[in-house]
């Protein structure tokens, strides 16, 4: 299996050897703006891992090789890829084509100019010792999602939370439609809303948050309900 994955990766990398993004100069300023779509999942600070691994010191790193990140897919760890201009361009073009069965929740960027801009920004921003001030730019936090919460007095079964368990770094949220979803603990936000739009007591609600489907808010009517609902169980 490992040998097969390495062969697939080599084919994919070779297939982007003449991709247009590698033949044009990217604009780092535009790339910085594009990176705002990546920032909810990837930090530029060394070993500050989020949904995805930190991108600090990315060039020259083996795919799946950051020791402080424990959620790599087996496919990526077995790929043998070393991140450079060409391999990163292939990854940004189509991650699933380059490494089948990887866990990246991102379909790729078809516009070669956008990829070139993003790579130009990342090449500078991920260098050893590079400042990570880009994360403090106005509007960067807005990429985490949000918006006005809908009225939660009347819930669909998929919105009504009936149980929450916590084990190590994972929450599992069960809803009235019988489904259970797992969330990294930093991706599940526990909130209260006692306003006229908030949920009824004993009827906590879940609403999606963020762009990738990997985040959610669980909203209670009052703080005293939270500890009663969350069960420590593995």
Query: pLDDT for 170-213, tens place per residue?
Result: 999 999 999 999 999 999 999 999 988 899 999 999 999 876 77
The pair of structure tokens assigned to 115 is 């990829």
- The domain in which residue 185 lies consists of 161-232
| Same-domain status, 133 and 167 | no
Do residues 169 and 185 make contact, with C-beta atoms less than 8 angstroms apart? yes
pTM given for the model: 0.55
Tell me how far apart the alpha carbons of residues 197 and 166 are, in angstroms, rounded to a whole number. 27
Phi, psi for residue 52 in degrees, rounded to 5? -110, 175
pLDDT value at residue 79: 97
* Count of structural domains, the chain: 2
Q: Give Cα 222 distance to the centre of its chain.
A: 29
pLDDT value at residue 40: 86
pLDDT value at residue 139: 43
The parts of the chain modelled with pLDDT lower than 70 are 1-24, 131-149, 211
pLDDT value at residue 21: 55
| Same-domain status, 69 and 126 | yes
| Same-domain status, 119 and 55 | yes
């Amino acid at each position: 299996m490992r040998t097969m994955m390495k062969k697939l990766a080599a084919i994919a990398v070779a297939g982007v050897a003449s991709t247009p993004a590698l033949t044009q100069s990217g604009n780092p300023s535009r790339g910085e703006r594009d990176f705002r779509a990546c920032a909810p999942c990837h930090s530029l600070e060394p070993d500050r891992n989020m949904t995805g691994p930190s991108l600090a010191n990315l060039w020259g790193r083996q795919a799946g090789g950051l020791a402080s990140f424990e959620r790599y897919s087996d496919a990526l760890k077995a790929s043998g890829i070393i991140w450079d201009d060409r391999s990163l361009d292939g990854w940004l073009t189509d991650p699933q084509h380059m490494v089948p069965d990887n866990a990246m929740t991102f379909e790729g960027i078809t516009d070669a100019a956008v990829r070139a801009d993003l790579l130009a920004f990342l090449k500078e921003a991920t260098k050893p010792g590079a400042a990570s001030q880009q994360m403090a730019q106005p509007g960067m936090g807005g990429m985490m999602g949000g918006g006005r919460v809908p009225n939660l007095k009347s819930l669909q079964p998929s919105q009504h939370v009936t149980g929450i368990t916590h084990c190590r770094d994972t929450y599992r949220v069960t809803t009235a439609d019988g489904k259970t979803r797992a969330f990294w603990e930093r991706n599940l936000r526990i909130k209260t809303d006692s306003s006229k739009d908030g949920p009824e007591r004993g009827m906590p609600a879940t609403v999606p948050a963020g762009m990738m489907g990997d985040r959610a808010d669980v909203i209670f009517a009052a703080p005293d309900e939270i500890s009663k609902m969350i069960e420590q169980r593995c």
